[in-house]
Amino acid sequence: MALIVQKFGGTSVGTVERIQQVAEKVKKFRENGDDIVVVVSAMSGETNRLIELAKQVSDDQPVPRELDVMISTGEQVTIALLAMALIKRGVPAVSYTGNQVRILTDNSHTKARILQIDDAKIRADLKAGRVVVVAGFQGVDEQGNITTLGRGGSDTTGVALAAALKADECQIYTDVDGVYTTDPRVVPKAQRLDKITFEEMLEMASLGSKVLQIRSVEFAGKYNVPLRVLHSFQEGPGTLITLDEEESMEQPIISGIAFNRDEAKLTIRGVPDIPGVAFKILGPISAANIEVDMIVQNVAHDNTTDFTFTVHRNDYQAAMAVLENTARELGAREVIGDTNIAKVSIVGVGMRSHAGVASRMFEALAKETINIQMISTSEIKVSVVIEEKYLELAVRALHTAFDLDAPARQAE
């Protein structure tokens, strides 16, 4: 008998009919003798509807504490409906809000972090033969205020509960049947992976893969909680995300191709090449709470430097304003920017034991006459910045170059 935590997202519980389907799925697991804890999101679109209501009475700036009180109600509806649907099917069930379970968080409203979970109540219910249905995305701080965990918070709730309960597996049910080598909408030959490491999944998530939220993968890796991504309404083995790095001759060098269109590039030219210049450029950017991704610095023969970095496209205008001010202070020649760029990355733990991976990537892009503007590497990834109009071509070329669209990659 296994203890399984199952998480169902908003589209999986988007209608009463779908909640009924989820109840049937949970019932089957229960009939197999497994102990089940279910974490659910609000019904699809409900959180956005509640946020919009709050904005209408708050001039677009709702008080964070009150916003949390409001948007946490979305999950409360879902847990009650699912518990009712299970009980109707003869499956003993009980629903709990984050407050009732005592998912203790810090007091950062709308983006709280989980500090501790009291699992006593859940364990007592499981022992009594009940399915426990818990509201995702929410908790309570030490003062008893309702908090929410931010975007993707239900995934984090599921993983955190699995860690606290030492569950055998945490199953994330979504609208895809697993983690793919890349987005199948871009590369129709993309293949579902049977298994991927936490490290690879973390890179894929941070580089633009939207299957799982970064925080939930970090949490799972930290506490070694086996994660499985599955389709809500289609049968299949899904993708297991685990700590194991299986050494075998069949181990692919690259597990996947990630990409991100939400990039913008800024360059400050003709900066005096003196110690501390990087801090003088990036310090004000950081102070403006703007995250920098890739960085390239070129020193010219006239003792000046050109300094280029990328930011999220939403931060482009703010970053440009800060950089123009810095350029005046430093006596730089000019500031230029580009929002028509994208980042493409190859990811795989197999890189550690294989030389020439980067050159193979550059060769594949060169064959398609795609110019590389910036390069960033780590132990298990190589990322490049290219013109956005070549993004899909680049992804397809790399997918082929690293043998990811061969039929042999498909699960038997």
Identify the CATH number of the domain in which residue 76 sits: 3.40.1160.10
Bind-site residues for ATP: 7-10, 174-175, 180, 185, 210-211
**Does residue 247 register a pLDDT over 70?**
no
Whether 358 maps to a domain, the answer reads no
Distance CA 16, CA 356 (A): 53
How many helices (DSSP H) and strands (DSSP E) are in the chain?
Answer: 13, 18
Backbone angles phi, psi at 310, to 5 degrees: -115, 150
Whether 56 maps to a domain, the answer reads yes
Residue 252: per-residue pLDDT: 67
Give the confidence band of 406 by pLDDT, cuts at 50, 70, 90.
low
Distance CA 323, CA 309 (A): 11
Distance CA 103, CA 82 (A): 20
Whether 86 maps to a domain, the answer reads yes
Rg of the chain's alpha carbons, rounded to an integer?
24
Q: What is the pTM of this model?
A: 0.81
Provide the residue range defining the domain that includes 84. 3-175
Bind-site residues: 7-10, 47, 75, 174-175, 180, 185, 210-211
> Which residues, in sequence order, are bridge partners of residue 347?
256, 381
Question: pLDDT exceeding 70 applies to what percent of the chain?
Answer: 95
Question: Mean pLDDT throughout 343-350?
Answer: 92
Whether 47 maps to a domain, the answer reads yes
Bind-site residues for substrate: 47, 75
Whether 34 maps to a domain, the answer reads yes
Average pLDDT score, the chain: 90
Single-letter amino acid, residue 88: K
Whether 209 maps to a domain, the answer reads no
**Which residues touch 385 (CB under 8 Å, ≥6 apart)?**
263, 265, 294, 310, 341, 342, 343, 372, 373, 374, 375
Number of domains in the chain: 1
Whether 39 maps to a domain, the answer reads yes
Pairing outcome for strands 256-272 and 114-117: unpaired
Whether 196 maps to a domain, the answer reads no
* 212 Cα distance to chain centroid: 4
Neighbours of 123 (CB within 10 A): 16
